Amino acid sequence: MAELNAEFRGYRSPLSTRYASKEMQYLFSDQHKFSTWRKLWILLAKAEKTLGLDITDEQIREMEKHVEDIDFKAAAAEEALTRHDVMAHVHVFAEQCPLAAPIIHLGATSCFVGDNTDLLILKEALDQLLPKLVGIIKQLAQFAMQYRDLPTLGFTHLQPAQLTTVGKRCSLWIQDLLMDERALRTCRDNLRFRGVKGTTGTQASFLQLFAGDSAKVRQLDQTVTRLAGFERYYAVTGQTYSRKVDLEIVSALASLGATVHKMCSDLRLLASRKELEEPFEQTQIGSSAMPYKRNPMRSERCCALARHMITLQANAANTLAVQWLERTLDDSANRRLTLSEAFLSADACMLTLLNISQGLVVYPKVIERNIAQELPFMSTENVIMAMVKAGGDRQVCHEKIRVLSHEAGAQVKQHGKDNDLVDRIRADPYFAPILGQLGSILDPKTFTGRAADQVVEFVNEEVNPIVALYGDKVVTKSAQLKI
């Protein structure tokens, strides 16, 4: 039995088993990491060959045959002996490629494969994440447009304030997501390659390889960078590329986490008021004890993962802060956790939020009922102004409204009854001159200002250009969520 359940007897990350996509998981897998190391060794050999080093096409072809077939057990055994992961994989690769063995990793330091692989992974991870984020923005924009003029209670201090619209509120979420898209796209566009820099970033080993020819060393850096798919490399590095790069990216992801948490907290509050709900499957169970419940579990999942994303920013900041001189190794174990979990958590949030944004359910009648409980109080200024226009004294009218409002408030708070302020106004002869106007005065749409127009302008001017920027790369269909 123990053998049958062996896979369940050790720790497994829920990011792998429950939340993140297979595609994002693959980017941070051992297979992808170490096959990328081998690809980098091949790119280095090709570039060194073109610049005159004694490297043959046969050696390169031999390496290319063994990019994917990694003997992980042999590599683990080597690392147990050497206590060095890069040298362990150099040895294993060399055993598979005896002809190429003398030129594998030629002139390079461990960070040639380690850091450059991380940069390639960060680039690919951003390329996966951004189209999902823009897919969410696109879905929410459609929702905002659909409900741009549906009045709803606006809240400040979590207390009813002036009315807004369902679409306008959604546009606030979208605006934050657009800022996240911009920040992540900037990280993606600014990302560079470490290239070939040597042990402390001086390129001394490569200068020796090329007999002091500085121009060839620079050309080597440029060639490997281009072959790896980057346009630029960092002009100066220590042993590693600056961990400021990691901090910028993780900070952008942490900021995205804050956006997701705010939006999904709003959804949870609205679900509590029964005004809006996330998708709920036919067979979904909200509670083991209360069969009637429709818990906002997707939004709750997003909030949970988003909080983890937010905390990772401190890890990246502290790692940068303690990199003494040209580097220390206390970044390694932390980065193995921080970079992967930041992206896997973000990916899981995007998948879940995309699912939510495609199936939001609005309950207009509930919204209307909730407005009816508060609008009489909000309309008092309009009532006063109408009375003044009809020849009334503002101060007298204000006092009348004040008294009636307190009486109606007592009915609501002390007796649990509906707000009857309008009925009290109708029953007071003082307000007879404006009774025919009460219907229009109490029309919720007259309290939403330019909300609907703002949504249209926002979507056309700010959202659509970003969606168009991604073209057919935008992810608009969410995969079925894991448990």
Pick the catalytic residue: 157, 272, 288, 415? 157
Residue ranges with strand state E in 113-227: 151-156, 159-165
Backbone torsions φ then ψ of 165, nearest 5 degrees: -125, 160
Backbone torsions φ then ψ of 17, nearest 5 degrees: -85, -25
Rg, the chain, Cα only = 31
Mean pLDDT (10-residue bins), the chain, 483 residues? 70 86 94 96 96 95 95 92 91 94 93 95 97 97 97 93 95 98 98 94 93 96 97 95 96 98 97 91 48 76 96 96 92 93 96 94 95 83 88 91 88 87 88 86 88 98 97 82 61
| CATH hierarchy code of domain 366-446 | 1.10.40.30
Measured CA to CA, the distance from residue 384 to residue 283 in angstroms comes to: 52
Q: Please tell me the predicted confidence (pLDDT) of residue 3.
A: 64
Q: Please tell me the predicted confidence (pLDDT) of residue 82.
A: 86
Q: Please tell me the predicted confidence (pLDDT) of residue 418.
A: 86
Q: Provide DSSP, 199-266.
A: SSSS-HHHHHHTTT-HHHHHHHHHHHHHHTT-S-B-S--SSS--THHHHHHHHHHHHHHHHHHHHHHH
Q: Where in the chain are all domains bearing CATH 1.20.200.10?
A: 113-280+295-363
Pick the catalytic residue: 214, 287, 332, 440? 287
CA dihedral for 7, 13, 14, 17, sign (positive or negative): negative
Q: Where in the chain are all domains bearing CATH 1.10.40.30?
A: 366-446
Who contacts 280 (Cβ-Cβ below 8 Å, separation ≥6)? Answer: 286, 294, 361
Is 157 an annotated catalytic residue?
yes
Q: Hey, is 362 helix, strand or coil?
A: strand
Identify whether the C-beta of residue 102 lies closer than 8 Å to the C-beta of residue 93. no
Give the helix/strand (H/E) hosting 361: strand 361-362
Q: Please tell me the predicted confidence (pLDDT) of residue 283.
A: 47
Q: How is domain 113-280+295-363 classified at the CATH fold level? A: Fumarase C; Chain A, domain 2 (1.20.200)
Burial class (CB in 10 A: 0-12, 13-18, 19+), 305: buried
Q: Which of 209, 219, 152 is nearest to 375 (CA)?
A: 152
